[in-house]
Amino acid sequence: MAPVPLVPFASLPADRQQSESLGPSLLIALFGQPIDLRIPISGSVAKSVKQWKPEVCPNELKYRDSLIAHLHSQMRDAKIEPEYRHMGTTIDIYVKADGFWGSSEVFLELKRNLESKSQFDRLVGQIESLEPKKHPLIVVLCGKTNPVLLKRLRVRYKIPDYPRVVLEMQMGILVKEHA
């Protein structure tokens, strides 16, 4: 089953906001924020990644293994796979969970030490191949991150600097400091 594309509640015309409140595309406003029940796992994954406190690791694979272990401890019923193949590319971490309206998935792309333009260009290529407009994606940056490149990434994908409900967006960026 293909994932249902996420549409921000506020972007729907007023007449569709009422009709969208029925059936599998149910949207609920909670504390003034729209919550999309079609993709409940993205919020859980983002929360878990935010709670993850990685130690300094010598390479990206060690960060990935540490994050996978953390996700398994937080989300015991979810399917969590490293190096997941999708549409001819490989996702660092794939998370899938069953929910009330069916299953949902989130892709995690992990990058260690984003410091050069060539690393930035490679990351953008990986992101584009994952089609972030169609699939929920969280980019996790570990180690040293060049603030200029981080800003370019946020601007390119229209991701604000301030905290925002991940469920409103198809893509998020989380920068992890060492424990």
Which residue range is the domain that position 65 belongs to?
39-175
For residue range 98-110, what is the model confidence (pLDDT) as tens digits? Answer: 776 677 889 999 9
pLDDT for 169: 55
Length of the chain: 179
CA 150 to chain centre: 16
For the question of whether the overall pTM of this predicted structure is more than 0.85, the answer is no
pLDDT for 12: 44
Read off the DSSP letter of residue 110: E
pLDDT for 162: 60
Number of domains comprising the chain: 1
What one-letter code names the amino acid at 63? Answer: Y
What one-letter code names the amino acid at 101? Answer: W
Q: Would residue 21 count as lying in a domain?
A: no
Q: Would residue 136 count as lying in a domain?
A: yes
Domain CATH code at residue 130: 3.40.1350
The contacts of residue 179 (CB under 8 Å, 6+ apart) are 53, 54, 55
**Rounded CA gap, 29 and 109, in Å?**
29
> Would you say residue 129 has pLDDT above 60?
yes
Q: Would residue 81 count as lying in a domain?
A: yes
Q: Would residue 54 count as lying in a domain?
A: yes
Read off the DSSP letter of residue 32: T
Query: 135 pLDDT band (50/70/90 cuts)?
Result: confident
Q: Would residue 150 count as lying in a domain?
A: yes
> Would you say residue 155 has pLDDT above 80?
yes
**Rounded CA gap, 134 and 131, in Å?**
6
Percentage of residues of the chain with pLDDT beyond 70 = 70
Q: Which residue has the higher pLDDT, 112 or 158?
A: 112
For residue range 20-70, what is the model confidence (pLDDT) as tens digits? Answer: 333 333 333 333 334 444 445 677 888 899 899 999 999 999 999 999 999
Q: Would residue 29 count as lying in a domain?
A: no
> Would you say residue 75 has pLDDT above 80?
yes
Query: 179 pLDDT band (50/70/90 cuts)?
Result: low
The DSSP line for 121-158 is HHHHHHHHHT-TTTS-EEEEEEEEE-HHHHHHHHHHTT
Q: Would residue 7 count as lying in a domain?
A: no
What is the rounded average pLDDT of the residues 140-153? 94
> Would you say residue 113 has pLDDT above 80?
yes
Closest listed residue to residue 124, CA positions, set 84, 155, 165: 155
CA 123 to chain centre: 14
Q: Would residue 67 count as lying in a domain?
A: yes
Using CA atoms, how far residue 159 sits from 64, 70, 75, 165, 170, in Å, is 23, 25, 26, 11, 10
